[in-house]
């Protein structure tokens, strides 16, 4: 078996899943699961870690699918969120069926073929264009008869657009394993980007550059973050060194979930997944 279930918490009864909603986030290193009941409350949180390196993660994923496919089909509905690195956010005014491939090739080169997918955002103002390994997408597309699919950029932007606009500028960060999503709101949305990183300096440099471009002081500008960053990590400490108003994003107000139920896991690890689940369910 090429994967390990690192964390699994059943928050409610899982005996009858026919009316329940399952969100499956697929990354290059892991699978994260969120189960929601009819009231859109969490009933399952699970993290599955691939044991292979990223280039072999398709093998781990296929092993997991083989073991879990019958269980997944017990759920009434499912939604897959992909974290493909080959992804681009395109304004609707610049998007065309004949130029989506060129956008990706320009950013990432044309050596990786794969399956090209496109999300149109609910506001109609943007498209997310992304590529996935063809064998991975084919396996996931057949996994549930009543499933929908989006990229993480799409669901994250959707969640951010649901927030009440503020008069003060806010920089938003979603942190994952060597991946950061960054968005800036300053009297309107000014910046969205997904970026790989290797060191904490990479993230700090990007954050400070975005703030500088807008003339925003890092000492006072509110920076809201969520995702897989521990407050004792080198990444957090590096950001804390430069940013004077660094705030962890709370779970949505409608979610009833406490630290005791999470059994030692921090809520901010799951905030992006829960936000996405509320958007797509």
**Residue 211 in contact with residue 218, Cβ under 8 Å?**
yes
> For residue 54, what pLDDT is reported?
52
> For residue 57, what pLDDT is reported?
73
Q: How far is CA 255 from the centre of its chain?
A: 18
Tokens 């950001």 belong to which residue? 239
Beta bridge partners of 7: 47
**Residue 139 in contact with residue 61, Cβ under 8 Å?**
yes
> For residue 167, what pLDDT is reported?
86
> For residue 6, what pLDDT is reported?
94
Residues 6 or more apart whose Cβ sits within 8 Å of residue 121: 127, 128, 154, 157, 158
Tokens (6 digits) for 220 = 């006072």
* Domain 3-85+128-159 shares a fold with domain 165-248: yes
**Residue 48 in contact with residue 5, Cβ under 8 Å?**
yes
Query: Domain 3-85+128-159: which topology?
Result: Nucleotidyltransferase; domain 5 (3.30.420)
Cα atoms found within 13 Å of the Cα of residue 38, Cβ hemisphere only: 5
> For residue 255, what pLDDT is reported?
95
> For residue 98, what pLDDT is reported?
78
Tokens 């954050």 belong to which residue? 207
Boundaries of every domain in the chain: 3-85+128-159, 165-248
Low-confidence spans in the chain with pLDDT less than 70: 1, 52-56
CB-based burial, 222-240: b 16+ in 10 Å, e otherwise: bbbbbbbbeeeeebbebbe
Mapping DSSP onto H, E and C, the string for the chain reads CCEEEEEEEECCCCCCCCCCEEEEEECCCEEEEEEECCCCCEEEEEEEEECCCHHHHHHHHHHHHHHHHHHHCCCCEEEEEECCCCEEEEEHHHCCCCCHHHHHHHHHCCCCCCEEEEEECCCCCEEEEEEECHHHHHHHHCCCCCEEEEEHHHHHHHHHHHCCCCCCCEEEEEEECCEEEEEEECCCEEEEEEEECCCHHHHHHHHHHHHHHCCCCCCCCEEEEEECCCCCCHHHHHHHHHCCCEEECCCCCCCCCCHHHHCCCCHHHHHHHHHHHHHHC
Query: Domain 165-248: which topology?
Result: Nucleotidyltransferase; domain 5 (3.30.420)
> For residue 44, what pLDDT is reported?
97
> For residue 163, what pLDDT is reported?
81
């Amino acid at each position: 078996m090429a994967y390990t279930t690192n964390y699994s918490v059943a928050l409610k009864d899982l005996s009858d899943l026919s009316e329940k909603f399952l969100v499956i986030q697929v990354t290059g290193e892991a699978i994260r699961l969120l189960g929601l009941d009819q009231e859109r409350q969490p009933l399952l949180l699970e993290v599955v870690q691939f044991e292979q390196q990223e280039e072999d993660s398709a093998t781990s994923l296929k092993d997991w699918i083989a073991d879990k496919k019958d269980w997944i089909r017990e759920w009434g509905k499912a939604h897959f969120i992909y974290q493909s690195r080959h992804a681009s956010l395109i304004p609707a005014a610049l998007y065309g069926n004949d130029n989506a491939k060129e956008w990706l090739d320009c950013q990432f080169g044309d050596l990786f073929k794969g399956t090209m997918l496109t999300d149109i955002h609910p506001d109609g103002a943007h498209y997310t264009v992304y590529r996935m390994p063809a064998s991975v997408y084919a396996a996931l597309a057949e996994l549930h008869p009543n499933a929908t699919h989006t990229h993480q950029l799409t669901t994250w932007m959707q969640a951010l657009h649901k927030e009440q606009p503020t008069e003060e500028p806010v920089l938003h960060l979603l942190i994952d394993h060597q991946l950061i999503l960054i968005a800036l709101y300053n009297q309107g949305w000014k910046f969205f980007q997904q970026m790989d990183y290797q060191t904490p300096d990479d993230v700090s440099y990007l954050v400070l550059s975005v703030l500088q471009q807008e003339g925003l002081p890092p000492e006072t500008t509110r920076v809201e973050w969520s995702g897989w960053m521990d407050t004792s990590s080198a990444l957090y400490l590096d950001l804390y060194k430069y940013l004077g108003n660094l705030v962890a994003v709370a779970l949505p107000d409608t979610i009833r979930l406490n630290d005791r139920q999470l059994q030692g896991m921090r809520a901010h690890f799951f905030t992006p997944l829960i936000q996405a689940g509320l958007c797509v369910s």
